[in-house]
């Protein structure tokens, strides 16, 4: 295709503002999907995506419109996947900034807009859901115009649901988004903006060609790893994959298949070039995804450990951001320490493990990555509280911090500040978007955000606040490790790294919880919370003498045997911590956040 006839654009929006629905309408209106085979959220292929109504992986689809080729790149809207959003943006020249006409600008509207502006995209401001009775198109057109610096009359108004205004929007894309520019004679360079694993075809890599040309049966080179592969198939998505025998040229967006089985060999952000005539410079901006949140994952039934390993191996084929290594816990047995991009990523991985692989899992409380400097100058990276060095030899501890942006109606300013202050937030600034809506910016420790921050925020603002955060380096903090001991034995799964002001509360809480969850034993069991050698909280489980044979009066021998059998059964579901028997359920209950 002549690059002058190509328009590459994406739709960016806050979660639930209707991106997927608008994409569906575009598929239908351009005739790519006929009305009969149309189904909601056509582009969201994963079951979880469909059920939760969210987009996790980006998708690209080619739409013919008015003699032009439009490549629409659907992007994920959630903070955890910002890296994927920014890669998708690099593949475009224009962005539709979609805002719900009943909600107005939200935190991810801003975050995505800034990403799009950084990528130098032409921005098309659009209000969606104008069919809703609660829509306030005039008010929010003004808000949106104020944000990007245009006239309110330049804001397009559409309904992804009814299709109103969508044709005009497509025309507008053709007329206003710049055509791609590239050097057709240069060595091939294509940006990988997505890569998914397909059971039948192996890894399908989505690319945007910047310079040159990529063809079928060509040896290609992945520039970040220097690995070479052969393109077995190359083509475009419209809306199903269609092989393109002529390959892909400047400005084109499509897919390639090389037969590799692991998405880590075809990483988002990498540059593909031709092995025979390779480019010298990579396209800018390749980054390894960096896990921000860690948690231990253990099978409830220890026999399922091999299955868990296999399931993680399989998931990783499709999720380059997922990292894990084996870990043993005295309390929970064999499991894995798993690193995630964020909390949503963590939830999704866990849900997929349980659902697609039929596993029952316990996960330990999530924690962030700490940098610990010892008095002798040595440094450690701690991804697991049990690795946190005990004793007084720690000189400094650094924790990751975020720049967080919260948008809400101004009546909630007080509540929001209270929550943020309670989590060691530092106010960076505050701006009014309109009379009654405000943007509040805080520096907040990531470790404080990953514990129910979002839930708190939502409940204190009746669901009106939205949150976005980005990594903003690290800060020194007074953090300590709190251990929980049963009869003097630390239970590794319950250790936590917390700020010193919260250590006492954590210790007291955990000790109380466990006193209720652990059944009495033949002897007294002290439960202690301690920082190093210093005990900060203590509870006792009183002793009982649990003699199962007492009721048998020495008579009926078969009944006696039955009782002993039964007790043995029960013991299997017990884990030993020192001499203390702890039922599996106690761990599950204590680790689940209330
Ligand atoms: P993510 O993929 O999670 O970012 O969400 P999304 O932005 O793709 O939102 P989605 O298209 O899933 O729409 C969210 C909700 O809004 C769904 O319940 C849609 O049915 C509804 N919705 C989307 N567009 C419109 C519209 O134009 N009018 C009305 N009334 N509802 C809409």
Which range is least confidently modeled, 37-46, 49-58, 156-165, 387-396?
49-58
Task: Judge whether residue 225 has pLDDT over 70.
Answer: yes
For residue 357, count CB atoms less than 10 angstroms from its CB and return exposed for 0-12, middle for 13-18, buried for 19 or more.
middle
Dihedrals φ, ψ of 101, to 5°?
-70, -10
Task: Judge whether residue 209 has pLDDT over 50.
Answer: yes
From 160, 344, 348, mutation site for ligand 1 pocket: most ligand atoms within 8 A of C-beta: 160
> Looking at residue 52, what is its pLDDT?
47
> Looking at residue 77, what is its pLDDT?
52
**pLDDT range class, residue 55, cuts 50, 70, 90:** very low
The answer for residues whose C-beta is within 8 angstroms of residue 482's C-beta and 6 or more apart is 495, 496, 497, 498, 503, 506, 507, 510, 529, 530, 531, 536
Q: To the nearest whole percent, how much of the chain has pLDDT over 90?
A: 50
Mean pLDDT computed over 301-320: 87
172 CA to centre of ligand 1 in angstroms? 21
**pLDDT range class, residue 314, cuts 50, 70, 90:** confident
**Each residue of 380-436: pLDDT tens digit?**
999 988 889 876 688 999 999 999 999 999 999 999 999 999 999 999 999 998 888
Mean pLDDT computed over 268-288: 87
**Each residue of 475-486: pLDDT tens digit?**
999 999 999 998
The answer for residues whose C-beta is within 8 angstroms of residue 232's C-beta and 6 or more apart is 216, 217, 257, 258, 259
Ligand 1 atom nearest the C-alpha of 98 is 7
17 CA to centre of ligand 1 in angstroms? 5
> Looking at residue 39, what is its pLDDT?
62
> Looking at residue 573, what is its pLDDT?
60
> Quick check: pTM over 0.80?
no
> Looking at residue 264, what is its pLDDT?
81
Omega cis (within 30) before 13: no
Q: Whose CA is nearest to atom 26 of ligand 1?
A: 129
DSSP structure class, residue 214: B
Q: Packing angle between helix 166-176 and helix 19-29, nearest 10 degrees?
A: 90
From 13, 18, 75, mutation site for ligand 1 pocket: most ligand atoms within 8 A of C-beta: 18
Higher pLDDT pick, 58 / 335: 335
> Looking at residue 57, what is its pLDDT?
46
Higher pLDDT pick, 417 / 513: 417
Ligand 1 atom nearest the C-alpha of 21 is 11
- Give the chain's largest Cα–Cα span: 96
DSSP string, 486-536: ETTEE-GGG-EEEEHHHHHHHHHHHHHHHHHHSPP-SS-EEEEEEETTEEE
29 CA to centre of ligand 1 in angstroms? 17
**Each residue of 538-558: pLDDT tens digit?**
998 888 765 555 555 555 566
Nearest to 506 by CA among 494, 518, 524, 515: 494
Task: Judge whether residue 92 has pLDDT over 60.
Answer: yes
For residue 447, count CB atoms less than 10 angstroms from its CB and return exposed for 0-12, middle for 13-18, buried for 19 or more.
buried
From 13, 20, 21, 112, mutation site for ligand 1 pocket: most ligand atoms within 8 A of C-beta: 21
> Looking at residue 54, what is its pLDDT?
41
Mean pLDDT computed over 158-176: 97
**pLDDT range class, residue 284, cuts 50, 70, 90:** confident
- Rounded CA-CA distance 260/223 in Å is 16
> Looking at residue 331, what is its pLDDT?
76
Higher pLDDT pick, 423 / 1: 423
**Each residue of 98-116: pLDDT tens digit?**
999 999 999 888 888 988 9
Task: Judge whether residue 3 has pLDDT over 70.
Answer: yes
Task: Judge whether residue 49 has pLDDT over 60.
Answer: no
Q: At 142, is the secondary structure helix, strand, or coil?
A: helix
> Looking at residue 44, what is its pLDDT?
53
């Amino acid at each position: 295709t002549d690059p002058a006839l190509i328009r590459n654009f994406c739709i960016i929006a806050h979660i639930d503002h209707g991106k997927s629905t608008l994409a569906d309408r575009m598929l239908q209106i351009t005739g790519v999907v006929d009305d009969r085979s149309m189904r909601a959220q056509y582009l969201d292929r994963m079951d979880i995506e469909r059920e939760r109504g969210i987009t996790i992986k980006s998708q690209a689809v080619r739409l013919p419109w008015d003699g032009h080729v439009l490549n629409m790149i659907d992007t994920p809207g959630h903070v955890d996947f910002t890296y994927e959003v920014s890669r998708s943006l690099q593949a475009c020249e224009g962005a539709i900034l979609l805002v719900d006409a009943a909600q107005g600008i939200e935190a991810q509207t801003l975050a995505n807009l800034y990403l799009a502006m950084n990528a130098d995209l032409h921005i098309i401001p659009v209000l969606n859901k104008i069919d809703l009775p609660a829509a306030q198109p005039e008010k929010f057109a003004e808000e949106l115009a104020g944000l990007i610096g245009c006239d309110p009359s330049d804001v397009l108004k559409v309904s992804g649901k009814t299709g109103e205004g969508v044709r005009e929007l497509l025309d507008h894309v053709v007329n206003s988004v710049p055509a791609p520019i590239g050097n057709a004679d240069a060595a091939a360079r294509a940006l990988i903006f997505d890569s998914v694993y397909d059971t039948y075809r192996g890894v399908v890599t989505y690319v945007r060609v910047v310079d040159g040309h990529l063809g079928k049966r060509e040896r290609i080179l992945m520039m970040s790893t220097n690995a070479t592969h052969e393109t077995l198939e190359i083509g475009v998505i419209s809306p199903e994959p269609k092989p393109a025998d002529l390959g892909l040229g400047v400005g084109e967006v499509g897919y390639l298949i090389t037969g590799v089985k692991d998405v880590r060999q075809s990483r988002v952000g990498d540059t593909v070039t031709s092995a025979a005539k390779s480019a010298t410079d990579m396209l800018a901006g390749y980054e390894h995804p960096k896990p921000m949140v860690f948690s231990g994952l253990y099978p409830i039934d220890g026999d399922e450990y091999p299955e868990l390993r296999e399931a993680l191996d399989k998931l990783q084929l499709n999720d380059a951001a997922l990292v894990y290594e084996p870990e043993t816990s005295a309390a929970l047995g064999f499991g894995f320490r798993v690193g995630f991009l964020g909390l949503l990523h963590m939830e999704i991985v866990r849900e997929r493990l349980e659902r697609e692989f039929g596993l029952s899992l316990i996960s330990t409380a999530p924690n962030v990555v700490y940098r610990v400097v010892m008095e002798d100058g040595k440094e450690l990276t701690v991804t697991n509280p049990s690795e946190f060095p005990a004793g007084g030899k720690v000189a400094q501890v650094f924790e990751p911090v975020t720049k967080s942006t919260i948008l809400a109606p101004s009546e909630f300013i007080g509540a929001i500040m209270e929550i943020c202050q309670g989590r060691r937030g530092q106010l960076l600034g505050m701006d009014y978007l309109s009379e009654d809506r405000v943007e509040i910016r805080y520096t907040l420790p990531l470790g404080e955000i990953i514990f129910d921050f979002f839930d708190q925020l939502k409940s204190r603002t009746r669901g009106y606040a939205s949150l976005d955060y980005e990594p903003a380096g690290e800060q020194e903090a007074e953090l300590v490790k709190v251990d929980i001991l049963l009869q003097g034995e630390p239970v590794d799964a319950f250790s936590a790294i917390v700020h010193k002001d919260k250590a006492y509360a954590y210790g007291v809480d955990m000790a109380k919880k466990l006193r209720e969850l652990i059944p009495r034993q033949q002897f007294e069991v002290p439960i202690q919370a301690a920082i190093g050698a210093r005990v900060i909280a203590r509870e006792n489980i009183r002793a009982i003498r649990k003699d199962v044979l007492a009721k048998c009066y020495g008579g009926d021998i078969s009944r006696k045997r039955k009782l002993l059998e039964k007790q043995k059964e029960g013991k299997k579901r017990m884990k030993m911590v020192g001499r203390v028997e702890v039922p599996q359920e106690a761990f599950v209950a204590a680790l689940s956040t209330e």
